[in-house]
Structure 1
Amino acid sequence: MFLKLGLLVFLSICVYMSEGFTETDCNENHERVSCKYKLNVYTWNNEIKHCVRVSYGGCNRTSNNFAFRPDCDRIARPICTKDYANAINAFSKEACNHEVHLGDPYEIPKCPGYRYAVWTWSSKEQACREAYYWGCNGSANRFISREDCDRIARPICT
């Protein structure tokens, strides 16, 4: 029970803080403040231009905080390096058909069971639509905003 609660808090903090990541967030870093939680998260380090794993205590909220390294790389790297071409290259035609799982998280082995809103390309609808990501079995077909989905997926998938 404690493990599930801790995981829920961890994902809630990371999802809340990584939403709306902008260029000003690239320079935000995590100070080593002793707080209630000790969570391993990923944050963009603008000095070395990479996502790095840090221990986060839950204080001093920032958008530069990701539960998973692939999400940090996918969201922060293009914004902080202004390298949108690589973000587009990371999204391939194969990803167009990978729908975000909308079912019960317990149907997916080892899925944390916490969902958060994302935007995904729907091949069936030929448009970006809002969906929920459960934290596992992800693909490049998962965007933090509709604008990102339209900018990256639409030219490749249509």
Structure 2
Amino acid sequence: MELEFLYALLFFLPVAIQETTYTGVSAVAVDHTKVKDASVCQLQPDVGPCRGAKHQWYYNITLRECALFVYGGCEGNGNRFEKKKECRTLCVKKEKKDACKQPKDSGPCMALSYRWYYNEATDECEMFAYGGCQGNENNFATEEECRAKCVKAPKPPSTSSGICMQPSDSGPCRARHTRWFFDLDERKCKKFTYGGCEGNSNNFESKQECEAKCLEELKSFGICGQPADTGNCRGKEQKWFPQSANTKM
């Protein structure tokens, strides 16, 4: 009986050792693989369940830069790099030319973050959907930051038939900026919500700016710039007055 047990032990022990060694090597090989794609850059840093304390680098999707974090030593995810250079190589696209001359670039990741870029063709800052990683430097958190960096000059003055007679236009984007437009029918400046891109020139940041532009121009219209006035009497005599193209009938 003892000989049979010894024989079985000698037979199975090398196999068990071989399988354990193979499994261990395989696990290490998978855990340390360098094959990563840019999608890992949008993952949140994961310290894992172990209690080690190893400094590693991860890509911070908010700051758009690589930062340190303490890794526990096991599991976690692919947004983890031993060196900052490795993190930047995969997640931060290097651009040396002027940020304002770079094209709009949403990057390869699939997050949805509304940012601003400078459109050199129109000399305006416009909103776009940023994926969260890579892209380029033509990428700003606010319209104001973009304009301060890139816009060359204010919009050229338009004639009264251009600005003040246009209807309010919120544009296709979904931001919520409070702006002012001139309502030609009511002959006054009114608030509206601007989406952040496109729209038209009847769009002012303040009521004062709107009035300075449009009320002053009304004076040059003479009687044609005055609103219709029925007067105090109760007669019903039909008369005619000029209306703007966007008057609701």
TM-score, normalised on structure 2?
A: 0.30
Higher helix share: 1
Q: Which has the higher contact order (CA 8 A, sep 6+)?
A: 1
TM-score, normalised on structure 1?
A: 0.43
